[in-house]
Structure 1
């Protein structure tokens, strides 16, 4: 067992390298076809198909009518008027997809117009046809329209038409060009007029709406109390309320100042502060005169002082006059201005008149109150002056304190009078403010409505202005034609372009060759047989190590040496013949593959039964033995053994018995194994037949005892050849494939053998067996008809120095299967000597008992 493992380990690197190369190739039996090889094998068929195609192409050329072609090139350009930037009216190149123009040119509308413009019904080809029929006839494959430029979106188009008449082709091309130009002109004219009509309709609508708004606004102005000065709208009540509010604020400030001064004076008098200080504070508030004026006042009598103080305290304008100037006069001026603007019947004039009447009535009340207060003040001042004069010494002035007290009393009275006047004026102003605000609030809705009128009129006016401007632009462009068709190359009289003899011949030859190649490819795909060594090697990815011709039975004469052997052992009966040379070639290939000495146990198997593996195994064993090596031919087919019949040996103890004897602790195993080995008539060749057929052949061949048997035999023989059943018949050979040193696959040439060989090869790959190569059997038989026909030597199976068997070894010999091959014929004299020698051997022949293989050396 250890020796077996060492043998496997020794050959594993070479096996791994070879397996790696095989796995890199395509799978065994795959669907890959070598099209170049198929074409080469069917070259005569391809030549015939091409010739037939050429003939058909020429016949087609002679039967085709003459065809004429006319062409024109046009460019779609824009009018100069189209360069104006008018949005919404873009029918130029920017708004169109030029790729669609070819479709437009081929449309039924354009072609029908072309038939009418070009009067194509007068042409012989279209005689008696309506424009619709002519359009249908033109629009078939005979009319070709496409972009003439290489770039996408080119504006240059080529129009061409094919016809049997040169003049008709020219007329059609020109008619299509004119029809398309007319279509573009009419299309732009329609689009421009439609745009103008739409703009004019929109303008009229906007103008009517603008007139309605302006009329409604004019009526609103007359009925509302608002004042309009140009684009500005004013509410007289709101303006008056603002002025009264400002006036009221001023009066409140003055009243606050006087009230504060009066309050501080009363407080000072209650606290009995010096009257001089109080008088000084009052004088400071009233902005008294300078010291000279004060001295002059002290020198005056009480009556004179009172008159002077009355004059000082009396304002330049009384309260009534101030109200006339500050309140009544502005209203009167505003009324006069409005009368000039809106007329005397406007509601605003009535409002102002009511306000003027109210103010005048208020002024009358203020003046009456003012007169009454002034009279009362005069009487009080006179009484005070009389009382003061009665106590005054005629010779000296009043005391300073009394004089100061009198002055304070006069000032307080003046302040009270001013306070009363301010209260009256404040009441009038406040009432006027409230009245104006009431009117202003009533006019707020009118102001909002007025603002809405103004905004809406402005929007409609702006829209109207834009529409009018757009209408002016469109009217300016109305003279342009939009897109135009500019002819680059006009249509000429048609030239003949078909039929073309070179094109017809090329097309016919190409179709004929393709049809022939298709037939060859179909034949190749349906072929399940091998036709050459290259076929087998490419299909299996295994080297071919030999070819065995058909072995005819040898006529054995009675008493001849080896008469009990199978007559097909050509290596024994015809050792110098050409057929024996085929087995010696196999022997050479085996030797070359065993340069490392690791391939000691070889398995001979096949894919299917009746492939001749047993006969080939026997002949190879004889050829190896003849080279001087100790050889054991073992029959591994325990179901249908053939080795014993081929070698003419019968022994009940064979391979099955020997395996059973190989127990691990068996003593005298070598002696017992020799009982299953029989020495043959061939020197150095021993045979182990199958013996009696066991009940469990598969279990025996897969048992460890078989490995022990092989290890034992390795020590006794240089080469062991094991004949096993076919791979696809039973599982026995599969059990041995991975346990031997090498496998040789025998393939017999016959029909439909490819699938079986492919399956057997895949099985060996799966088992990781070391397949040395394939031996092709049956070369030259009727079933192998066609095999080797691809060789350069017709009728011979020839191997030159260029064919490699996969191991780097080149065979330089050649052999053929001809009956007149004189190289292997023996002369009559030599045959006579061999016959005499054979008779002498028969006389001395003795059946020898089984001996050790060492005796063969």
Structure 2
């Protein structure tokens, strides 16, 4: 909802701007017509005075030649022209229009002797054949629509002679094509010669590098494997260093094992160390080594017999041990239920003791048997200690031998290291020269192969032909340009005239400018003609609401009255001021008609003539008496004494009275406010007619005491400034213009943009035919003077 509300003003402004443009076209159609006429006249004059110009056109296909097409290569372009880029076409455009190509064409084809060129040169001393031809030559990228990416050029030349322009364009293309051919042929031959010389030099460099490397290898102990040099002493040194590293690790491991075992034996008494403790000091690898030595010393038979009986002994010992564990677990469970002296626990303890004795006895027998068949753990440990000491001694000797060999190989490797670096440098230099030589040979082969296929191909696909019809001026284009320029000129004059004219365009223009709503548009009406035999009017004939209450003019004031009544109920407005920017805007006539419209509704209405300089209310209502508003302000009479009756029983009036010397001071006095307060209590509405705002300051002074201010504006030429200034003066005085009444006039001259005619179409309020249909034909009509 908010978005819609926000868009509504914008749409309204757009519609208003569009209507305003249409209004300018309607109001200033004479100026627009004048501009169009001038544009057409200028176009016709240009068409008949401009000499015809013919144009020759030529289409050129530009292709990039490539040897890949001949070789069947897949890289680069596969067909001519495919790889031609935008910058290449731009280069060809610049080349074809260059001074060098055109000058060569003039010289080779004698273009300076062509009649059209000679005639142009003779007309002006500053024009040369080169300058003239360049000015008329144009080259652009070809291709339109779906073929806009085509690699073509479009060359055109304009000239008064159809034959000469075709001849000149062909000559320029021939010179352009010749230049391309000679340029690329010369460039290719020069490139081949340079590459051939470079290939010979690089070949000599490669051979010299190979000889230097061969001499270096022959005079040294360095080995060559076909790809790189080898220092045999350095390789041997690397192998010795690896062996020393392995030897160091083995020596450290052996020394640590010996230290562990020696420390254990020295810190523990022999009788406190079990066989299992001794065996725990040996790893699997060490046990296997001792086992091998033991088997060698006692023979294979004893070893096999022992191994054959070993499973039986293990099975028996396992069964005995399982039974022993079963008795121990059973005892544990009984102890949870019974005390230590329970018979069952005592019995189980006896069985456990007997089983333990049996296992120990059996173990002693097995041990005695094993003693005869295997080495004891103590003996094994002592034997192993001796082995470790022997191993350490051997490792020390081996280290000394390897260290002596390492020193020898290191000295020899250092002697060859400098020679090896020189040889490696020679090898890399040889490889670099070989690479340069191979690249040069490949480039030379390709250039020799594609020498005839280098450069660009330029094929004419649309030749320059003499034209029968001139290319310029074209009547349709000239006429369209003239109409366009004339339309712009006319619209510019209309817009300038409209901007300089400060006349209000329409009621919407008045409302936008002054910032207040337009409640009524009062047409201009002529005085009612009275016949000699008719009785005189009781009030002035301009009070149409009284004399012709059923006419559209009277209906306008009733519409105004209705709007003010709605505003009065809403905001409590009772005292209404009617003023105008300038004298003659019809504010007094409007005030009297509006007061009469209020009175016809039964409202007690008082109209006060506060124009103490040029009063008109008394004359319009035919009031009598010398006392008036001025006497009441000077406190020379009672406020009730100055109120007079009128032809309507609900309408009362206060004339201006005698003209005082100081009207502004009287209106600024407190007496003015007191009078209004007295009359507020006695009347429903008070209409105060005040002087024009721009004439004197009285209207601005009075507006401070008013509930609502009506500004009567007459549509006159350049009346906008006066109305805007009047509204600003009222705002600076602390009052706002509550509503605007537009007083128009009926005229056939609509140059001011606003007609005062009163009918269904011109008035805009819809009280034309519908008003006649409501009241019938028995309506008093206006009579023109």
Shorter-chain TM-score above 0.5: yes
1:56 and 1:172, CA in 2 relative to 1: closer, same or farther beyond 3 A? same
1:594 is displaced (CA, Å) by 5.5
Tell me the equivalent position of 2:29: 43
The residue number in structure 2 matching 1:176 is 172
Q: How far apart are residue 734 of structure 1 and its match?
A: 5.7
Q: How many angstroms does 1:683 deviate by?
A: 5.8
**Matched residue of 1:799: which SS?**
coil
Alignment-derived partner of residue 185 in structure 2: 189
**Equivalent position of 2:681 in the other structure:** 712
Aligned to 2:311: none
1:799 corresponds to which residue? 758
Partners of 2:180 and 2:456 within 8 A in 1: yes
Q: Corresponding residue for 1:465? A: 438
Q: Within 5 Å, which residues of 2 pair with 1:24-35?
A: 34-35=20-21
Secondary structure at 1:570 match in 2: coil
Q: What SS does the aligned partner of 2:51 have?
A: coil
Equivalent in 704, 715, 718 of residue 752 of structure 1? 718
Q: Distance in 1 between matches of 2:9 and 2:631?
A: 35
Q: Are residues 223 and 556 of structure 1, via their aligned partners in 2, closer, same or farther at CA, if it must alter by over 3 Å?
A: farther
Q: Partner of 1:548: helix, strand, or coil?
A: coil
Aligned positions of 1:823-842 closer than 5 A: none
Q: Aligned residue for 2:144?
A: 149
User: 1:723 deviation in Å?
Assistant: 0.7
What is the alpha-carbon distance in structure 2 between the residues aligned to residue 622 and residue 246 of structure 1? 132
2: CA distance, partners of 1:755 / 1:58 = 43
- 2-structure distance, mates of 1:653, 1:78: 106
Give the Cα–Cα distance (whole angstroms) in 2 for the partners of residues 238 and 788 of structure 1: 115
**Contact 1:120 1:126 survives alignment (8 Å):** yes
Out of 640, 653, 665, the residue aligned to residue 687 of structure 1 is 653
Aligned residue number for residue 560 of structure 2: 590
Structure 2 stretches of 5 or more lacking a match? 1-6, 246-292, 300-392, 773-779
Which residue number corresponds to residue 542 of structure 1?
518
C-alpha separation between the residues in 1 aligned to 2:541 and 2:10?
37
Q: Please state whether the residue corresponding to 1:485 is helix, strand or coil.
A: strand
Once the two structures are superposed, the pairs formed by residues 646-795 of structure 1 within 5 Å of their partners are 654=629, 657=632, 673-680=639-646, 684-689=650-655, 708-709=677-678, 711-715=680-684, 719-728=685-694, 733=699, 743-748=709-714, 750-760=716-726, 769-771=737-739, 773-776=741-744, 779=745, 786=749
Aligned residue for 2:67?
Answer: 81
TM-score normalised over the length of structure 1: 0.57
Change (3 A) 1:554 1:23: farther
Describe the shift of the 1:209–1:619 C-alpha distance in structure 2 as closer, same or farther (beyond 3 A).
Answer: same
Contact 2:137 2:155 in 1 (8 A): no
Q: CA deviation at 1:133?
A: 3.9
Per-residue CA deviations over 1:498-520 (Å, capped at 9, x if unaligned) read: 33333334433444444344333
Match of 2:502 among 528, 531, 556: 528
Structure-to-structure mapping, 1:408-447, within 5 angstroms: 437-447=410-420
Cα shift readout 1:39-75 (whole Å, capped 9, x = no counterpart): 3334344445434543443333222223222212222
**CA apart distance, 1:113:** 3.5
- 1:78-133 C-alpha deviation (Å, 9 max, x unpaired): 33525457899x99515944344333332223323343454423421234989x94
Match of 1:608 in 2: 582
Contact 1:656/1:700 (CA < 8 Å) preserved in 2?
no
After TM superposition, list the pairs within 5 Å mapping 1:142-541 onto structure 2: 143-150=138-145, 153-193=149-189, 195-197=191-193, 199-200=195-196, 202-221=198-217, 223-226=219-222, 228=224, 233=229, 437-496=410-469, 497-529=471-503
**1:59 to 1:490, Cα distance in 2 relative to 1, 3 A:** same
Deviation digits for residues 272-306 of structure 1 (CA, Å, limit 9, x no counterpart): xxxxxxxxxxxx99x99x9xxxxxxxxxxxxxxxx
Q: Structure 1: how far apart are the matches of 2:242 and 2:537?
A: 161
Q: Give 1:234 deviation, angstroms.
A: 5.1
SS at match of 1:802: coil
Cα distance in 2 for partners of 1:519, 1:429 equals 115
CA RMSD of aligned residues (A): 5.7
Q: Shift in Å at residue 484 of structure 1?
A: 0.9
| Structure 2 CA distance for partners of 1:246 and 1:615, relative to 1, 3 Å | closer
Aligned to 2:264: none
Aligned equivalents of 2:671, 2:157: Cα separation in 1? 83
CA 1:440–1:787: 2 relative to 1, 3 Å: closer
| Cα distance in 2 between the residues matched to 1:23 and 1:464 | 78
Change (3 A) 1:680 1:94: closer
User: How far off is 1:556 after superposition?
Assistant: 13
- For 1:707 and 1:24, locate their aligned partners in 2 and report how far apart those are by CA, in whole Å: 45
The structure-2 alpha-carbon separation of the partners of 1:499 and 1:772, relative to structure 1 and needing over 3 Å to count, comes to closer
* 3-state SS, counterpart of residue 34 of structure 1: helix
Matched, 1:67 2:62: no
Relative to structure 1, is the Cα distance of residues 43 and 120 closer, same or farther in structure 2, using a 3 angstrom cutoff? same
- Separation in 1 of the partners of 2:683 and 2:444? 115
Number of residue pairs matched? 605
- 1:633 offset after TM fit, Å? 1.2
Give yes or no for contact 1:70–1:170 (8 Å, CA) kept in 2: yes
Please tell me whether the aligned partners of residues 607 and 757 of structure 1 are also in contact (alpha carbons under 8 angstroms).
Answer: yes
| Aligned equivalent of 1:411 | none
TM-fit CA distance, 1:756: 1.5
Query: Is 1:82–1:480's contact at 8 Å kept on the other side of the alignment?
Result: no
In the aligned structure 2, how far is the partner of 1:433 from the partner of 1:570? 145
Q: Distance in 2 between matches of 1:164 and 1:53?
A: 26
Per-residue CA shift, 1:162-198, capped at 9, x if unaligned?
2111111211232233333334334433553454455
CA contact (8 A) 1:532 1:790 kept: yes
Cα contact 1:764–1:771 (8 A) shared by 2: no
The answer to whether 1:138 aligns with 2:133 is: yes
CA distance in 2, matches of 1:68, 1:125: 12
- Give the corresponding residue for 2:307: none
**Secondary structure of the corresponding residue to residue 140 of structure 1:** helix
Once the two structures are superposed, residues 559-601 of structure 1 have per-residue CA deviations (whole angstroms, 9 ceiling, x without a partner) of 9887xx9xxx3347998699x9786354343345467585865
Distance 1:104 1:595 in 2: 86
CA distance in 2, matches of 1:219, 1:451: 13
Shift of 1:466: 2.2
How far apart, in 2, do the equivalents of 1:22 and 1:735 lie? Answer: 36
Secondary structure at the residue paired with 2:135? Answer: coil
CA contact (8 A) 2:644 2:652 kept: yes
SS at match of 1:443: helix
Report the more deviating stretch, 651-660 or 44-53.
651-660
Seen in structure 2, the aligned counterparts of structure 1 residues 789 and 771 have a Cα distance that, compared at 3 Å, is closer
Is residue 577–residue 709 contact of structure 2 (8 Å, CA) maintained in 1? yes
Of residues 482-491 and 517-526 in structure 1, the stretch that sits farther from structure 2 once superposed is: 517-526
Q: Is the 8 A contact 1:146 1:157 kept in 2?
A: yes
SS of match in other structure, 2:758 = coil
Q: Distance in 1 between matches of 2:135 and 2:89?
A: 22
**Superimposed CA distance per residue, residues 196-228 of structure 1 (whole angstroms, 9 cap, x where no aligned partner):** 455445545544443443344344345544455
**Shift in Å at residue 159 of structure 1?**
1.8
